[in-house]
Amino acid sequence: MRTIVITGGTDGIGRQLALHYIRNGDQVIVIGRSAEKGEALRLEAAKSNRENAFLFLQADLSLVSENIRIVDELSAKESRIDLLLLCAQSQKFSSVYRETEEGFEHHFALYYLSRFILSFQLRGLLRGSAAPLIINVCAPGVKGGVHWEDLQLRTLRPFNSIKAIMHGSRLNNLLGAAFAQSAADMNIKYLLFNPGAVQTKGATEAFDHKLLQRLVKLMYNIIGLPAEKAIEPILRFVHSPPEESLTAYKRNKKLDAAQMIPYLEQSDRLVRLTLELIKRQYGNFNIT
């Protein structure tokens, strides 16, 4: 029985993956913010007589402290992790710059910083697996550069959460490269996955304006996939993991990592800058 950890596992793609692997007979650990949604998943597990193989850990992954707590809890509970699925993301549109209580821009913290911490800090548990795999559900293939002097887009005016998410996707590209380089001798595969447009509540209700909601829902009904279809490539990747240490896909299309991340050496720079940001809050933080 595999041990599978899913962040953002109470909504959208993460929830569909959780339900699939619960019913598949795996041990599934879901990390999410809503206790109510976690309870709904537990009830689904109970319907399949799989309640004992399901665990919900409530956490606000936009906080560094919560990510560190989750790492500690998993390290205390588990001897290994076979699959880490990183799906947590806020799609809510905002034109207002918003920081967490720890002082990080919200999208940067949830969409990138959490994935950085969990990827590196859970390597020890992943190494205990015969075929460890991390799948970072982000948006590889998004063009553009990295704002090295302003990773959190603090000076972006007017602020735009869509731009922040796209920038976070480029940071996740470099995170994948950095992880693959640092874990080359650990046999841990890292896969960046772009699901494209997915018909989730978070996507269709990203805007507060009712007309925009209807337009987005109409567009996603035309070009998007339901979550149960969007996860099919992920299921195939898990069944037949890639041989390369780093791969990237947009749905079923494999992307050229060298073209997607033209300056792989900059991944070391990103690790250094990220550690500097974290250490301002947690002086003894290091990647293991």
Structure tokens at 217: 């829902």
Task: Taking each helix axis as running N to C, give the angle between helix 64-77 and helix 114-121, from 0 to 180 degrees, rounded to the nearest 10.
Answer: 30
pTM assigned to the model: 0.93
Q: What is the mean pLDDT of residues 70-79?
A: 97
Residue 218: CB atoms within 10 Å: 11
pLDDT-above-70 percentage for the chain: 89
Give the pLDDT score at 257.
80
> Taking 80 as the threshold, does the pLDDT of residue 272 lie above it?
yes
pLDDT at 221 over 80: no
Single-letter amino acid, residue 265: E
The stretches of the chain forming alpha helices (DSSP H) are 12-24, 35-47, 64-77, 106-107, 114-121, 123-126, 161-182, 201-204, 210-223, 227-230, 232-239, 257-260, 266-279
Decide which of 174 and 265 is more confident: 174
CA 252 to chain centroid, in Å, comes to 18
Domain locations along the chain: 3-279
Average pLDDT for 29-39: 97
Confidence of residue 253 (pLDDT cuts 50, 70, 90): very high
Q: Residue 282 has what pLDDT?
A: 78
The residue-averaged pLDDT of 153-159 equals: 90
Superfamily of domain 3-279: NAD(P)-binding Rossmann-like Domain (3.40.50.720)
- pLDDT band at residue 141, thresholds of 50, 70 and 90? confident
* Percent of all residues in the chain with a pLDDT value above 90, rounded to a whole number: 71
| DSSP-assigned beta bridge partners for residue 31 | 7, 57
- Mean of the pLDDT values across residues 127-140? 96
What pLDDT is stored for residue 222 in this prediction? 67
The residues, ordered by sequence, that sit 6+ positions from 63 with a Cβ below 8 Å of its Cβ are 100, 101, 102, 109
Most confident of the ranges 8-12, 90-94, 181-185, 201-205: 8-12
Q: What is the pLDDT of residues 15-27, one digit of tens each?
A: 999 999 999 999 9
Mean pLDDT of the region 255-272: 82
Eight-state DSSP code of residue 105? B
pLDDT for residue 207: 47
